[in-house]
Structure 1
Amino acid sequence: MTEHPWLSYYPEEIKESLDYPNIPVFELLKRAAKEAPKKEALYFLGKRLTYEETLKAAYQAANAFKKLGVEKGDRVSLMLPNCPQMVICYYGVLLAGGIAVMTNPLYVERELEHQLNDAEVKTIVCLDLVYPKVKKVIETTQLENIIATSIKDYLPFPKNLLYPIVQKRKGPYVKIDYYKENVLSFPKWLKASSSTPVTPEIDPKTDLAVIQYTGGTTGTPKGSMLTHANLIANALQCKSWFYKGEEGKEKTLAAVPLFHVYGMTVCLNLTVSLIGTILLVPKFDVEQLLKVIDKEKPTIFPGAPTMYIGLLSDPKLKNYDIRSVEACVSGSAPLPLEVQQQFESITGGRLVEGYGLTEVSSVSHANPIWGQRVHGSIGIPFPDTISKIVNPETGEEVGVGEVGELLISGPQVMQGYWRKPEETEQVLKDGWLFTGDMGYMDENGYFYIVDRMKDMIIAGGFNIFPREVEEVLYEHPSVKEAAVIGVSDEYRGETVKAFIVKKEGKEVTDEELDAFCRTKLAAYKVPKLYEYRDEMPKTMIGKILKRELK
Structure 2
Amino acid sequence: MSVYDDKPWLARYAPGQPAAITVEFDNALAMFRSSVERNPNGDAIRYFDGRISLRELDELTDAFAAALLDTGFTKGDRVALYLQNVPQFVIAQIGTWKAGGIAVSVNPMNRERELELLLRDSGARVLVCLQSLYRDVAATVLGNTDVQTVITTSELEYQTRNDQRVFSGVERISCEGTLDMAELLARCAGRRPPTVELAPDDVAFLTYTSGTTGPPKGAMTTHRNVVFNAQAYRDWIGLGQDDVILGVAPLFHITGLVGHIAISLLIGAPLVLMYRLDPTLTIETIRDERATFTVGSITVFIALMNAPNADKDALASLTKIYSGGAPIPPSTVKAFQSTFGHYIHNIYGLTETTSPSHAVPLGAQAPVDEASGALSVGVPIYNTIVRIVGDDGQDLPPGEIGELVTSGPQVVAGYWNKPEETEKALPGGALHTGDVGYMDENGWFYIVDRKKDQINAGGYKVWPREVEDVLYEHEAVREAAVVGVPDPYRGETVKAFVSLRPGRTATADELIAFCKERMAAYKYPRQIEFLDEIPKTVTGKLLRRELRAREQQKQTV
Provide TM-score, normalisation by structure 1: 0.80
Question: One-letter code of the match for 2:260?
Answer: C
Q: Which residue of 2 aligns with 1:223?
A: 218
Q: Contact between 1:81 and 1:105, CA under 8 Å: does it hold in 2? A: yes
Q: Which residue of 2 aligns with 1:14?
A: 17
Match of 1:266 among 256, 259, 275: 259
Q: Which residue of 1 aligns with 2:479?
A: none
Q: Which residue of 2 aligns with 1:508?
A: none
1:277 and 1:411 map into 2 onto residues whose CA distance is 26
1:271 and 1:18 map into 2 onto residues whose CA distance is 19
Question: One-letter code of the match for 2:229?
Answer: N
Residue 189 and residue 485 in structure 1: after superposition, are their counterparts in 2 closer, same or farther (change >3 A)? closer
More displaced stretch, 427-436 vs 87-96: 427-436
Q: Contact between 1:352 and 1:373, CA under 8 Å: does it hold in 2? A: yes
Match of 2:143 among 139, 145, 148: 139
Q: Contact between 1:83 and 1:151, CA under 8 Å: does it hold in 2? A: yes
Are positions 1:73 and 2:126 aligned together? no
Q: Which residue of 2 aligns with 1:501?
A: none
Q: CA deviation at 1:64?
A: 1.0
Q: Which residue of 2 aligns with 1:407?
A: 405
Q: Which residue of 1 aligns with 2:181?
A: 186
Q: Contact between 2:154 and 2:172, CA under 8 Å: does it hold in 1? A: no
2:93 and 2:202 map into 1 onto residues whose CA distance is 16
Structure 1 residues 131-178: Cα deviation after superposition (integer angstroms, max 9, x where no partner): 12111012111111110000122123xx46x98xx96x738x674333
Are positions 1:255 and 2:248 aligned together? yes
Residue 80 and residue 485 in structure 1: after superposition, are their counterparts in 2 closer, same or farther (change >3 A)? closer
Q: Contact between 1:65 and 1:96, CA under 8 Å: does it hold in 2? A: yes
Q: Contact between 2:210 and 2:216, CA under 8 Å: does it hold in 1? A: yes
Q: CA deviation at 1:288?
A: 1.4
Q: Which secondary structure state, in structure 1, belongs to the residue aligned with residue 204 of structure 2?
A: strand
1:373 and 1:170 map into 2 onto residues whose CA distance is 43
Q: Which residue of 1 aligns with 2:159?
A: 155
Q: Contact between 2:152 and 2:175, CA under 8 Å: does it hold in 1? A: no
Q: Contact between 2:244 and 2:269, CA under 8 Å: does it hold in 1? A: yes
Q: Which residue of 2 aligns with 1:23?
A: 26
Q: CA deviation at 1:240?
A: 1.4
Match of 2:352 among 359, 362, 368: 359
Q: CA deviation at 1:6?
A: 7.5
Q: Contact between 1:5 and 1:444, CA under 8 Å: does it hold in 2? A: no
Q: Which residue of 2 aligns with 1:389?
A: 388
Q: Which residue of 1 aligns with 2:440?
A: 442
Are positions 1:371 and 2:345 aligned together? no
Q: CA deviation at 1:349?
A: 3.3
Q: Which residue of 1 aligns with 2:270?
A: 277
Q: CA deviation at 1:373?
A: 2.5
Are positions 1:126 and 2:179 aligned together? no
Residue 59 and residue 497 in structure 1: after superposition, are their counterparts in 2 closer, same or farther (change >3 A)? farther
Question: One-letter code of the match for 1:90?
Answer: Q
Q: Which secondary structure state, in structure 2, belongs to the residue aligned with residue 329 of structure 1?
A: strand
Q: Contact between 2:389 and 2:402, CA under 8 Å: does it hold in 1? A: yes
Q: Number of aligned pairs?
A: 473
Match of 1:233 among 222, 228, 231: 228
2:175 and 2:454 map into 1 onto residues whose CA distance is 48
Q: CA deviation at 1:318?
A: 3.5
Residue 14 and residue 218 in structure 1: after superposition, are their counterparts in 2 closer, same or farther (change >3 A)? same
Are positions 1:63 and 2:66 aligned together? yes
Match of 2:40 among 12, 37, 44: 37
Q: Contact between 1:266 and 1:302, CA under 8 Å: does it hold in 2? A: yes
Residue 416 and residue 74 in structure 1: after superposition, are their counterparts in 2 closer, same or farther (change >3 A)? same
Question: One-letter code of the match for 1:426?
Answer: K
Q: Which residue of 1 aligns with 2:4?
A: 4
2:7 and 2:284 map into 1 onto residues whose CA distance is 40
Q: Which residue of 2 aligns with 1:205?
A: 200
1:205 and 1:5 map into 2 onto residues whose CA distance is 25
More displaced stretch, 441-450 vs 8-17: 8-17
Q: CA deviation at 1:367?
A: 1.1
Provide TM-score, normalisation by structure 2: 0.79
Q: Contact between 2:311 and 2:340, CA under 8 Å: does it hold in 1? A: no
Match of 1:242 among 237, 241, 259: 237
Residue 29 and residue 195 in structure 1: after superposition, are their counterparts in 2 closer, same or farther (change >3 A)? farther
Match of 2:91 among 85, 88, 92: 88
Q: CA deviation at 1:485?
A: 8.0
Structure 1 residues 201-250: Cα deviation after superposition (integer angstroms, max 9, x where no partner): 4343321111111146743200000111110011111111112x3x3200
Residue 485 and residue 212 in structure 1: after superposition, are their counterparts in 2 closer, same or farther (change >3 A)? closer
Q: Which secondary structure state, in structure 2, belongs to the residue aligned with residue 265 of structure 1?
A: helix
Q: Contact between 2:229 and 2:410, CA under 8 Å: does it hold in 1? A: yes
Match of 2:49 among 34, 46, 60: 46
Question: One-letter code of the match for 1:186?
Answer: M
Q: CA deviation at 1:430?
A: 2.3
1:216 and 1:58 map into 2 onto residues whose CA distance is 32
2:489 and 2:355 map into 1 onto residues whose CA distance is 27
Are positions 1:343 and 2:336 aligned together? yes
Q: Which residue of 1 aligns with 2:472?
A: none
Q: Which runs of 5+ in 2 are unaligned?
A: 369-374, 456-484, 498-533, 537-542
Question: One-letter code of the match for 2:425?
Answer: V
Q: CA deviation at 1:305?
A: 0.8
Q: Which residue of 2 aligns with 1:426?
A: 424
Q: Which secondary structure state, in structure 1, belongs to the residue aligned with residue 263 of structure 2?
A: helix
Question: One-letter code of the match for 1:47?
Answer: G
1:118 and 1:212 map into 2 onto residues whose CA distance is 12
Q: Contact between 2:312 and 2:340, CA under 8 Å: does it hold in 1? A: no
Q: Which residue of 2 aligns with 1:314?
A: 307
Q: Which residue of 2 aligns with 1:467?
A: none
Q: % of aligned pairs identical? A: 33
**What is the aligned-residue RMSD (CA, Å)?**
2.7
1:325 and 1:226 map into 2 onto residues whose CA distance is 29
Q: Contact between 2:327 and 2:491, CA under 8 Å: does it hold in 1? A: no
Structure 1 residues 276-312: Cα deviation after superposition (integer angstroms, max 9, x where no partner): 1101021111111111112111000211111111111
Residue 80 and residue 20 in structure 1: after superposition, are their counterparts in 2 closer, same or farther (change >3 A)? same
Q: CA deviation at 1:394?
A: 1.1
Q: CA deviation at 1:29?
A: 1.7
Residue 38 and residue 415 in structure 1: after superposition, are their counterparts in 2 closer, same or farther (change >3 A)? same
